[in-house]
Protein backbone atom coordinates (compact mmCIF):
# COMPACT_ATOMS: atom_id res chain seq x y z
CA UNK A 1 0.00 0.00 0.00
CA UNK A 2 2.76 2.47 0.91
CA UNK A 3 4.62 1.98 -2.37
CA UNK A 4 1.42 2.98 -4.16
CA UNK A 5 1.54 6.41 -2.47
CA UNK A 6 4.76 7.37 -4.23
CA UNK A 7 3.77 5.55 -7.44
CA UNK A 8 0.49 7.47 -7.62
CA UNK A 9 2.32 10.72 -6.92
CA UNK A 10 4.73 10.13 -9.79
CA UNK A 11 1.95 9.14 -12.20
CA UNK A 12 0.06 12.32 -11.28
CA UNK A 13 3.19 14.50 -11.58
CA UNK A 14 3.86 13.16 -15.07
CA UNK A 15 0.25 13.71 -16.08
CA UNK A 16 0.23 17.27 -14.72
CA UNK A 17 3.47 18.13 -16.53
CA UNK A 18 1.98 16.97 -19.83
CA UNK A 19 -1.41 18.58 -19.23
CA UNK A 20 0.01 21.92 -18.07
CA UNK A 21 2.89 21.90 -20.58
CA UNK A 22 5.35 22.87 -17.85
CA UNK A 23 7.80 20.97 -15.60
CA UNK A 24 6.36 19.43 -12.44
CA UNK A 25 8.67 18.42 -9.59
CA UNK A 26 8.27 16.08 -6.64
CA UNK A 27 10.75 16.74 -3.84
CA UNK A 28 11.47 15.49 -0.33
CA UNK A 29 9.85 17.70 2.29
CA UNK A 30 9.60 17.45 6.06
CA UNK A 31 7.36 20.52 6.44
CA UNK A 32 5.07 20.35 3.40
CA UNK A 33 6.03 23.84 2.22
CA UNK A 34 9.62 23.55 1.01
CA UNK A 35 12.01 21.02 -0.47
CA UNK A 36 14.66 19.46 1.75
CA UNK A 37 18.06 17.97 1.10
CA UNK A 38 18.25 16.66 4.67
CA UNK A 39 14.92 14.86 5.05
CA UNK A 40 14.40 11.36 3.74
CA UNK A 41 11.61 10.50 1.32
CA UNK A 42 9.69 8.73 4.08
CA UNK A 43 9.39 12.09 5.89
CA UNK A 44 6.99 13.27 3.18
CA UNK A 45 7.10 15.01 -0.18
CA UNK A 46 5.63 17.90 -2.13
CA UNK A 47 4.56 18.14 -5.77
CA UNK A 48 4.75 21.57 -7.42
CA UNK A 49 4.74 23.36 -10.75
CA UNK A 50 8.40 24.17 -11.40
CA UNK A 51 8.03 27.23 -13.64
CA UNK A 52 11.77 27.81 -14.02
CA UNK A 53 12.79 24.11 -13.88
CA UNK A 54 15.48 24.83 -11.30
CA UNK A 55 15.46 21.51 -9.47
CA UNK A 56 14.29 21.10 -5.92
CA UNK A 57 13.34 24.64 -4.99
CA UNK A 58 9.81 25.95 -4.60
CA UNK A 59 10.03 29.57 -5.66
CA UNK A 60 7.58 32.41 -5.18
CA UNK A 61 4.59 31.98 -7.47
CA UNK A 62 5.12 28.26 -8.07
CA UNK A 63 1.90 26.37 -7.36
CA UNK A 64 2.00 23.48 -4.91
CA UNK A 65 -0.16 20.72 -6.40
CA UNK A 66 0.04 18.25 -3.52
CA UNK A 67 1.48 17.76 -0.05
CA UNK A 68 2.14 14.19 1.04
CA UNK A 69 2.58 13.28 4.70
CA UNK A 70 5.25 11.07 6.20
CA UNK A 71 4.99 7.32 5.86
CA UNK A 72 4.25 5.28 9.00
CA UNK A 73 6.98 4.94 11.63
CA UNK A 74 9.42 2.16 10.84
CA UNK A 75 9.01 2.59 7.07
CA UNK A 76 11.85 3.83 4.88
CA UNK A 77 11.67 5.17 1.32
CA UNK A 78 15.03 5.84 -0.30
CA UNK A 79 16.31 6.45 -3.80
CA UNK A 80 19.25 4.68 -5.39
CA UNK A 81 22.50 6.61 -5.51
CA UNK A 82 22.20 10.20 -6.63
CA UNK A 83 19.20 9.61 -8.91
CA UNK A 84 16.18 11.17 -7.26
CA UNK A 85 18.25 11.86 -4.16
CA UNK A 86 16.25 15.02 -3.47
CA UNK A 87 13.74 15.39 -6.31
CA UNK A 88 12.33 14.11 -9.56
CA UNK A 89 11.11 16.46 -12.30
CA UNK A 90 8.76 15.58 -15.12
CA UNK A 91 9.05 17.63 -18.30
CA UNK A 92 6.14 18.65 -20.55
CA UNK A 93 6.85 15.69 -22.85
CA UNK A 94 6.38 13.29 -19.91
CA UNK A 95 10.06 12.37 -19.61
CA UNK A 96 11.73 12.50 -16.18
CA UNK A 97 14.98 14.31 -15.45
CA UNK A 98 16.75 10.94 -15.02
CA UNK A 99 16.05 7.28 -14.47
CA UNK A 100 16.37 5.54 -11.14
CA UNK A 101 14.61 3.64 -8.40
CA UNK A 102 12.97 4.04 -5.03
CA UNK A 103 13.14 1.33 -2.37
CA UNK A 104 10.48 0.96 0.32
CA UNK A 105 11.11 -1.13 3.41
CA UNK A 106 9.34 -1.67 6.71
CA UNK A 107 10.02 -3.64 9.86
CA UNK A 108 9.69 -6.92 7.91
CA UNK A 109 13.02 -6.24 6.16
CA UNK A 110 14.34 -6.51 2.62
CA UNK A 111 12.49 -9.76 1.85
CA UNK A 112 9.21 -7.81 1.93
CA UNK A 113 10.68 -4.61 0.47
CA UNK A 114 9.44 -3.03 -2.76
CA UNK A 115 11.27 -1.41 -5.65
CA UNK A 116 9.73 1.35 -7.74
CA UNK A 117 11.61 1.83 -11.01
CA UNK A 118 11.35 5.04 -13.02
CA UNK A 119 12.55 5.09 -16.63
CA UNK A 120 13.91 8.25 -18.24
CA UNK A 121 10.77 8.10 -20.41
CA UNK A 122 8.90 8.92 -17.20
CA UNK A 123 7.09 5.64 -16.74
CA UNK A 124 7.09 4.37 -13.17
CA UNK A 125 6.39 0.78 -12.21
CA UNK A 126 6.65 -1.49 -9.21
CA UNK A 127 9.41 -3.99 -9.95
CA UNK A 128 8.09 -7.25 -8.51
CA UNK A 129 10.73 -9.71 -7.39
CA UNK A 130 13.52 -7.13 -7.48
CA UNK A 131 16.34 -7.26 -4.97
CA UNK A 132 15.80 -4.55 -2.37
CA UNK A 133 18.42 -3.12 -0.03
CA UNK A 134 17.05 -1.64 3.20
CA UNK A 135 18.88 0.96 5.27
Range with the lowest mean pLDDT among 8-12, 13-17, 78-82? Answer: 78-82
Give the span between the Cα atoms of 108 and 36, in whole angstroms: 28
pLDDT at 127: 87
Range with the lowest mean pLDDT among 1-5, 9-13, 60-64, 126-130? Answer: 126-130
| Higher-scoring residue by pLDDT: 15, 108 | 15
129 pLDDT above the threshold of 80: no
Query: Does the CA dihedral 4-125-101-132 come out positive or negative?
Result: positive
Give the span between the Cα atoms of 1 and 7, in whole angstroms: 10
Amino acid sequence: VQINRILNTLVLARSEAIKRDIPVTVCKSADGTSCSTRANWENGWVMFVNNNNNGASIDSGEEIIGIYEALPAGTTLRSNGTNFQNHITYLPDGFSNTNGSFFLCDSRGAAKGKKLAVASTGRARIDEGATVTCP
